[in-house]
Amino acid sequence: MTVLADKNESDVFIAGEYDVAVIGAGHAGCEAALAAARLGLSTLLLTMSMDSVAMAPCNPSIGGPAKGIIVREIDALGGAMAEVTDRTQIQIRLLNTGKGAAVQAMRAQIDKKAYQRDMLGVLQRQPHLDIKQGEATDILTTDGAVSGVRMRTGAVYHCRRLIITSGTYMKGQVIMGSCAYPSGPAGYPPAAYLSDSLRALGFAMGRFKTGTPARVDKNTLDFSRMQEQPGDTSGLHFAYRDQHADRPNISCWLTQTNAETHRAILDNMDRCPLYSGLIKGVGPRYCPSIEDKLRRFPNNPHHQLFLEPEGLDTNEYYVQGMSTSLPEDVQYAFMRTIPGLENVKIIRPAYAIEYDFLYPTQLKRTLETKLIAGLYTAGQINGTSGYEEAAGQGLLAGANAALSLLGREPLVLGRDEAYLGVLIDDLVTKGVTEPYRMFTSLAEYRLLLRSDNADARLTERAYRLGLTSEDAYRRLQAKQQAVQQEKNFLTATAIRADDPNLRQLLADLAMPQLDQGIRAWELLRRPGINYAALCRILGHTPAPTEIAEQLDIEAKYDGYIKKQLAQVERAKALESKPLPTGTDYTAISGLSLEARQKLTAIQPENLGQAGRITGVSPADIAVLLVWLRQKQEQRPVSEN
């Protein structure tokens, strides 16, 4: 390392030179750095504190509806979140078991500190990756492209690609009642200068808000007054490579608010910064604070709360469902009206946090910014919420930054390929007006995007790019071969109508008896018949759980899946029609005024993306189709 001079400063300490640098070591930053390093690029991961790497500052859980499927997609793409979750989980459950396969997903409680230690170990063992502590303050550019990052100490790291994964730290401010002070999450210092650098480069920035519930002392809780919520004991796991670890099963507990709780909150609403004007940022509509719930749902007599353990070696419990920015004395007043919390002691009071974010319509689908070449953003800086959404964005940003340096095609996922494809397309095409959270309802092809098939959707592509191992690819091949072999067996096997086992099964299910024999696969397609029951009829040794799951889903949903695949093909007709970059849509007659403005600002890549922009109507798409045909007709014919 040497001290060099440049035209702006007489003494500049060049602390290092890297292919890729990542600012922020939360869930997005960890996956971004790992992806770039796995592709062989020299990578730097910068964190404000080595103690906050992979921190989960809010709820102690990974997964949930849609989010759990994202975790499996991250695993299929070679990311670390699923395996680290499996090694550090203290409870896991499968949600929505009474609904269809498209909306089922896993959710695990994690030991927060164990998760951090495990992920840090993964990072430190990764070749080509350095981790350093310090606050990044300035993004350095040369001729409109990123060239480095300056630290608060004045040190400079040169890089060819830069990924910002700053979470909720940029100009973070914690708010509790009338108390407001600069802070990042969980008491860590905020990033005070980075968003100023982004604004100076010309980026449009916004302000969001999120809330974190209180952590309370386990020894002051009366679980006898709550309902136990045990985890699953069947060996569920997120990673497709099951690590067969002995996993604990620590229960969560369910309780609820009541009229007295609501009175204690409503009587102090004048002290709520959400309504006094102290909070300026926009919060998530889908995850309201307890005071906001009472305003929005005044007729609800109670609201559910879950007491969730933060880890195996701590007394802290997280009060899920009760985020608030009310003062600490009010938090005590209303929490002690709740069954099981009458003598509660608060270890960490709840708070709201405001932070700067970058409007994501300023990004390409690779998550590279349109304004500065080589600059990428991922995670909550893009207006999202949630560890899983952040980690998935980080992985794709890290992969695309590295692939661009290697001169290879980017990793851009379609809406029919992954929830991550839906997430990023929504961000860059529609933008955000509140913190974005992934829901199954946002995916029009959700029957194709299931938890069980993320490996089939993504692993081969990740393997071809070098993001995941040959072992992962071979496991996928073996699984697919086993599914096909078992399907071939069921298709070829006939069951007689008078088979006593079949007759008994149909009687047990109150289904009519058959007049003639049936193929086993056709029987499996019938409602109420599952693969396990079929194996009992046939006296057949059942395949492993993951194979059985695939067979059940394929048999039951085959017709619906084919319909969705047909919809995908129709949509691809528009996706295959590219739109020229830099088009001035204000000059195209026939477009609505709103469409002209939105199309010019967002610059969609193709007609399919244009049609998903809010304010662009089918009539506008028809105008664009005519305009494209006219441009093609006007194109000069090349000479032979």
Above 70 in pLDDT, residue 18?
yes
8 Å CB contact between 378 and 208? no
Nearest to 397 by CA among 383, 377, 415: 377
Place of tokens 């004395």: 329
Nearest to 378 by CA among 391, 387, 365: 391
pLDDT digits (tens, 9 = 90+) for 305-322: 999 999 999 999 999 999
8 Å CB contact between 405 and 20? yes
The torsion region of residue 96 among left (phi > 0), alpha (psi -120 to 50) and beta comes to left
Above 50 in pLDDT, residue 148?
yes
pLDDT digits (tens, 9 = 90+) for 533-563: 999 999 999 999 899 999 999 999 999 999 9
Residue type, 454: A
SS3 assignment, position 179: strand
Nearest to 402 by CA among 6, 99, 1, 40: 40
pLDDT recorded at residue 636: 61
598 vs 366: CA distance, rounded Å: 20
435 vs 420: CA distance, rounded Å: 16
pLDDT recorded at residue 1: 34
- How many other C-beta atoms can be found within 10 angstroms of the C-beta atom of residue 342? 13
31 vs 45: CA distance, rounded Å: 10
pLDDT digits (tens, 9 = 90+) for 455-474: 999 999 999 999 999 999 99
Q: For residue 417, give both structure tokens.
A: 């390929």
pLDDT digits (tens, 9 = 90+) for 84-126: 999 999 999 999 988 888 889 999 999 999 999 999 999 999 9
pLDDT recorded at residue 274: 78
188 vs 24: CA distance, rounded Å: 13
The torsion region of residue 438 among left (phi > 0), alpha (psi -120 to 50) and beta comes to beta
Above 60 in pLDDT, residue 9?
no
The torsion region of residue 456 among left (phi > 0), alpha (psi -120 to 50) and beta comes to alpha
The model's confidence at residue 2, banded by pLDDT at 50, 70 and 90, is very low
Q: For residue 582, give both structure tokens.
A: 């830099």
β-pairing verdict for 145-151 and 2-4: unpaired
Q: What is the pTM of this model?
A: 0.93
3-state secondary structure 519-571: EHHHHHCCCCCCHHHHHHHHCCCCCCHHHHHHHHHHHHHHHHHHHHHHHHHHH
Which domains does the chain show, CATH number per domain?
16-211+354-464 (3.50.50.60), 215-352 (2.40.30.260), 470-563 (1.10.10.1800), 576-634 (1.10.150.570)
The model's confidence at residue 282, banded by pLDDT at 50, 70 and 90, is confident
